[in-house]
Amino acid sequence: MLDLWYSEYHTDDVKFSIKTTRHLYSEQTPFQKIDFFESETYGTFFTIDGLVMVTQRDEFAYHDMICHVPMAVNPDIKRVLIIGGGDGGTAREVCRYKGVTHIDLVDIDERVVRLCQKYLPQTACALDRDERISMHFMDGFKFVKEAPDGAYDLILVDSTDPIGPGEGLFTMEFYENCYRALSDCGILINQHESPFYDNYNHEMLRAHAKIKRTFPIAKVYQFHMPTYPSGLWLFGFASKKLDPIADFKRERWEALGLKTKYYNTDLHCAAFALPTYVKEKLDNVR
Ligand code: AG3
For 89-147, what is each residue's pLDDT tens digit? 999 999 999 999 999 999 999 999 999 999 999 999 999 899 999 999 999 999 999 99
Look up residue 134 and give its amino acid: S
pLDDT at residue 285, as a whole number: 86
Q: Are strands 182-191 and 152-158 parallel, antiparallel or unpaired?
A: parallel
Over range 250-269, report the average pLDDT: 98
**62 CB within 6 A, ligand 1:** yes
**228 CB within 6 A, ligand 1:** yes
For 9-20, the pLDDT digits (tens) are 999 999 999 999
Over range 31-55, report the average pLDDT: 97
For 166-212, the pLDDT digits (tens) are 888 889 999 999 999 999 999 999 999 999 999 899 889 999 999 99
pLDDT at residue 1, as a whole number: 65
Pick the CATH number of 59-283 from 3.20.20.80, 3.40.640.10, 3.40.50.150, 3.40.1280.10: 3.40.50.150
Arch. (CATH architecture) of 4-55: Roll (2.30)
Q: Note if 58 is an active site residue.
A: no
Radius of gyration from C-alpha coordinates of the chain? 18
Per annotation, catalytic residue among 128, 153, 158, 247: 158
Residue 209 CA to ligand 1 center (angstroms) comes to 21
pTM above 0.85, yes or no: yes
Provide the mean pLDDT of the chain.
96
Which residue among 46, 225, 228 is best mutated to probe the pocket of ligand 1, counting the most ligand atoms within 8 A of its Cβ?
228
> What span, in angstroms and rounded, lies between the C-alpha atoms of 193 and 282?
13
Could you tell me how many residues make up the chain? 286
pLDDT at residue 162, as a whole number: 85
Domain boundaries, given as residue ranges, for the chain: 4-55, 59-283
Q: Of all helices (H) and strands (E), which one includes residue 280?
A: helix 276-283
Q: Of all helices (H) and strands (E), which one includes residue 94?
A: helix 89-94
> What span, in angstroms and rounded, lies between the C-alpha atoms of 90 and 65?
9
> What span, in angstroms and rounded, lies between the C-alpha atoms of 122 and 124?
6
Q: Are 232 and 219 in contact (CB under 8 A)?
A: no
**190 CB within 6 A, ligand 1:** no
Burial per residue of 213-238, b for 16 or more beta-carbon CB atoms within 10 angstroms, e otherwise? ebbebbbbbbbebebbbbebbbbbbb
Instruction: Determine phi and psi for 42, rounding to 5 degrees.
Output: -100, 5
**52 CB within 6 A, ligand 1:** yes
For 222-247, the pLDDT digits (tens) are 999 999 999 999 999 999 999 999 99
- Reading across the β-sheet that carries 232-239, which strands appear in turn? 133-136, 102-106, 79-84, 152-158, 182-191, 232-239, 217-224
Nearest ligand 1 atom, CA 191: 3
> What span, in angstroms and rounded, lies between the C-alpha atoms of 34 and 25?
8
Give the end-to-end CA distance of the chain in Å, rounded to a whole number: 54
